Structure 1
């Protein structure tokens, strides 16, 4: 196969929004390297090849230094310039803060915060000297509201959004763009994996189409946009309302969705 296609990388690319982002790259002229924690990442890479792209899979633990560094070494070892990076991997954790296990909360921070900074450092130091590249940081609309019963997750996504906005300004004149994607609740396994099946966001809840969210994120990345809200019109309105709604009101409203039944 030709190597004329640009190379993109996607973390958390085995399923959900990450896999849909990888498909957007694959169907829009990119070859793709994806990372995931489970064996599923290899099946996902094969599905991307069926779309006409070259695709490489790397299985790793995104909560560890060696895991993140290993994926970067894997991408660098492909010997091709990296044109786009979707820093998508993230995990959730539902339940009351007083009850949740500390190790689970620290692992969430390691994946959502530390891992994002670690990989972004490698990507930026690769792209800036070449004077080109696009970076997508997947945050969440949870970045704009208190998140009771997801008390560590929401702040981790607020960090991601602020990090993306800050980095974007630093890189303004370098040829490297940074875009934040803020999805609303999406039809993936996220809430089940976060232990939130017994909440109003569990199975059966109305959620955004993950393909739509990925398409919105990819379009914003290609346009060099500052950020984009991922989801339907109702999700867009919710984010606008959050700008003027008092934090206490938003916290109570969010608790109705996330409180275990």
Structure 2
């Protein structure tokens, strides 16, 4: 029997990452999952019920050592799909944040993500085959007052994905950027944003977001903005002055804006 294709999914213990892994499993991919918490083992147990091989790696993807650990678990197996989803947020004003937490957001969302894509992407390029899905965000379209570092990291990823896609044009390796809006996950609780409007209002469904991103990756699309409201928001953002966008974002993310 031919071996199943392998998908690597990061940040796969909960939320969009877990649902991306579920989409892969339902499509018949074997999985290597990674996250920085023990819940990744529970995710693996659940996904094995779908009849695929699932290996869980608990590792800190904010570090090069953590990425190396994930790559060692993959070994020489060809990665057909890399779903680079690991990411964390951080609320409150920039100068009120602990710099260690700021650094962790940057190292997780950007440095670790790029290192993993560099390693897996080179493997794909040697085979002239592979798919890369990067979880960006519509947050990358606007200056994120009271979420400044997170939005900036997503702006970086959104931009990077289009540049990498062009570099790999006609190589057999595709790059797709998933750009969700606020989604029902653990993100806002972990980012300490449950006293904000965006943290407490109704959000998009994680499985629907993941399925849209997974399907776009399989099609080889350049990007997918999920949800009509988010599509409208990004269109408006493209013609709105940054100063105004920053002021609007404040109304969503400033502590104390949650509805009582």
Normalised by the length of structure 1, the TM-score is 0.96
Q: Distance in 1 between matches of 2:156 and 2:20?
A: 21
Say yes or no: does 1:4 pair with 2:6.
no
Per the alignment, residue 239 of structure 2 pairs with: 244
Shift of 1:80: 2.5
Helix, strand or coil at the partner of 1:201: helix
Give per-residue Cα distances to partners, 1:145-188, cap 9 Å, x unaligned: 01010111111111111111111000002100000011100000
Of the candidates 203, 210, 219, which is equivalent to residue 223 of structure 1?
219
Q: Is the 8 A contact 2:61 2:113 kept in 1?
A: no
Q: Distance in 2 between matches of 1:202 and 1:177?
A: 33
Q: Distance in 2 between matches of 1:57 and 1:25?
A: 15
Say yes or no: does 1:183 pair with 2:168.
no
Per the alignment, residue 109 of structure 1 pairs with: 106
Shift of 1:25: 0.3
Of the candidates 123, 143, 158, which is equivalent to residue 161 of structure 1?
158
Q: Distance in 2 between matches of 1:240 and 1:26?
A: 34
Say yes or no: does 1:87 pair with 2:84.
yes
Q: Distance in 2 between matches of 1:3 and 1:136?
A: 25
Say yes or no: does 1:58 pair with 2:54.
no
More displaced, 108-117 or 232-241? 232-241
Shift of 1:202: 2.2
Helix, strand or coil at the partner of 1:86: strand
Q: Distance in 1 between matches of 2:23 and 2:2?
A: 18
Per the alignment, residue 34 of structure 1 pairs with: 33
Say yes or no: does 1:137 pair with 2:117.
no
Helix, strand or coil at the partner of 1:58: strand
Helix, strand or coil at the partner of 1:152: helix
Per the alignment, residue 93 of structure 2 pairs with: 96
Q: Distance in 1 between matches of 2:113 and 2:39?
A: 22
Give per-residue Cα distances to partners, 1:110-133, cap 9 Å, x unaligned: 101100110011011100010100
Of the candidates 206, 209, 212, which is equivalent to residue 213 of structure 1?
209
What is the RMSD of the two structures over their aligned residues, measured on CA atoms?
1.0
Q: Distance in 2 between matches of 1:124 and 1:171?
A: 10
Shift of 1:4: 2.5
Q: Distance in 2 between matches of 1:20 and 1:3?
A: 26
Normalised by the length of structure 2, the TM-score is 0.96
Following TM superposition, where does structure 1 have runs of at least 4 consecutive aligned residues deviating by more than 4 angstroms? Answer: none
Consecutive unaligned residues in structure 2, runs of 5 or more: none
